[in-house]
């Protein structure tokens, strides 16, 4: 969430920057400023009334002590009117605070200067491409056919148990899934990320804290009776560990990782983009998250990108890195790099990771601050990355490593899964 003080100081610059997201934010920014002016005016009135009331109370006490009860009672009649005015203005002030908060919740983060302009994922900027795209044998298949041949993932059984988008992993498919999770966590903890196991349901405050609410409310599964949400990503519960926290400089950097299932209602509709593992309602993901001093967050983002690169290279998968354009940038992000692996059987690139810097946007919602000496406290910076999302990684391994006799396993995973082929 943007800070209202920064909006007042940078209204025009913010409006221009948000044009990269293809939105006209000027009316929203001006509305926020107008509501804040009203809030500040009401706060001033309330402070003045309270000061006057306190002064009268002291005078009344002094009069009673001096035996001037009649004069004291005359002044007491004035305090009743002040209390009524205080209550009325206080209610108006609370309404203005809530109105301002609701407006600020609808304004996305400011894209960094390096974010390219664009309308959709077709306008994302390819930064680099790595690895060789394999040449497959005649008759090579997409993963949704391979998993049937080797009986390792059952989409129909998942549909029977729950519905479309909830696959059942079986036999070597389940073991390969577990191997990937353990490998990702080991890589992350070796790089200094502390492993966390967190709840898979969160309350509304947590959803607002990281920006999923109200922006993605319709995409989240809601448990109405308990007013809880199934997590769309491990970013939500892990980041909220530090909600309402004040850190010291010595606490930086905070590096966390965790495995969670993820639940999303927006699984798409029809076509190859949503076939098989390409898009699911429930899927597994390992996250890396950092809380940084503002001076170090840019370098931390570069470090996270390099870390994900290393994992993909060890998996021997061809991949590319993209800088997201303004039209494809997430609501809370100021800069995001996407990683895509190439699926040779599908002849397409599949997104497997997003690595983002949110700067102070999430921290302002979370009330996550650090002590900064003479300045008191300031907002920390938060960052998040997939390391990695499993479905498309698994799909790419199955498709790119298939041979006529079966499916080879990347060397780095063999110690984790205990077999070198699926046949």
Two tokens, residue 207? 């959803």
Q: Among residues 298, 291, 340, 386, which one has the least CA distance to residue 112?
A: 298
Binding site members:
233, 264-266, 287, 351-354, 384
How far CA 381 is from CA of 18, 90, 278, in Å, comes to 20, 33, 32
What are residue 108's phi and psi, to 5 degrees? -75, 170
Two tokens, residue 316? 């021997």
Binding site members for L-serine:
233, 264, 287, 384
Q: Which secondary structure element, helix H or strand E, spans residue 403, and what is its range? A: strand 402-403
Binding site members for ATP:
264-266, 351-354
Two tokens, residue 142? 């997409």
Contacts of 282 (CB under 8 A, 6+ apart): 162, 165, 166, 261, 262, 263
What is the C-alpha to C-alpha distance for residues 153 and 273, in angstroms, rounded to an integer?
18
Task: Count the alpha carbons within 13 Å of 198 in the hemisphere toward its beta carbon.
Answer: 29
What is the C-alpha to C-alpha distance for residues 394 and 284, in angstroms, rounded to an integer?
11
């Amino acid at each position: 969430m943007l800070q209202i003080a920064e909006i007042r100081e940078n209204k025009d610059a913010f409006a221009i920057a948000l044009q990269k997201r293809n939105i006209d934010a000027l009316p929203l920014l001006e509305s926020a400023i107008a509501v804040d002016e009203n809030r500040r005016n009401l706060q001033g009135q309330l402070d003045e009334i309270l000061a006057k009331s306190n002064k009268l109370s002291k005078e009344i006490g002094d009069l009673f002590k001096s035996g001037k009860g009649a004069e004291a009672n005359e002044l007491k009649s004035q305090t009743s009117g002040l209390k009524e005015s205080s209550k009325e203005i206080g209610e108006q002030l609370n309404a203005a605070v809530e109105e301002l908060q609701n407006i600020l919740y609808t304004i996305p983060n400011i894209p960094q200067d390096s974010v390219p302009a664009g309308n959709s994922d077709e306008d994302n900027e390819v930064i680099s491409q790595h690895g060789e795209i394999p040449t497959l044998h005649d008759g090579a298949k997409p993963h949704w056919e391979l998993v049937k041949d080797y009986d390792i993932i059952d989409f129909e059984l998942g549909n029977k148990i729950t519905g479309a988008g909830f696959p059942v992993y079986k036999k070597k498919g389940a073991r390969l899934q577990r191997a990937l999770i353990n490998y990702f966590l080991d890589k992350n903890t070796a790089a200094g990320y502390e492993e966390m196991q967190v709840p898979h349901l969160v309350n509304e405050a947590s959803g607002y804290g990281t920006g999923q609410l109200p922006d993605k409310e319709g995409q989240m599964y809601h448990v109405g009776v308990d007013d809880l949400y199934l997590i769309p990503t491990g970013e939500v519960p892990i980041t909220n560990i530090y909600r309402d926290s004040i850190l010291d400089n010595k606490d930086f950097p905070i590096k966390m990782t965790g495995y969670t299932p993820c639940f999303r209602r927006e699984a798409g509709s029809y076509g190859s983009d949503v076939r098989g593992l390409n898009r699911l309602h429930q899927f597994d993901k390992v996250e890396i998250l950092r809380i940084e001093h503002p001076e170090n967050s840019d370098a931390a983002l570069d470090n996270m990108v390099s870390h994900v690169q290393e994992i993909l290279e060890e998996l021997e998968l061809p991949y590319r890195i993209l800088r997201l354009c303004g039209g494809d940038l997430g609501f809370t992000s100021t800069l995001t790099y996407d990683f895509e692996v190439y699926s040779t059987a599908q002849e397409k690139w599949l997104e497997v990771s997003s690595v983002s810097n949110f700067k102070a946007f999430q921290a302002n919602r979370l009330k996550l601050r650090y002590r900064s000496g003479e300045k008191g406290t300031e907002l920390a910076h938060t960052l998040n990355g997939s390391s990695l999302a499993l479905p498309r990684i698994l799909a790419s391994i199955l498709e790119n490593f298939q041979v006529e006799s079966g499916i080879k396993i990347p060397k780095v995973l063999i110690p984790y899964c205990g077999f070198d082929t699926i046949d």
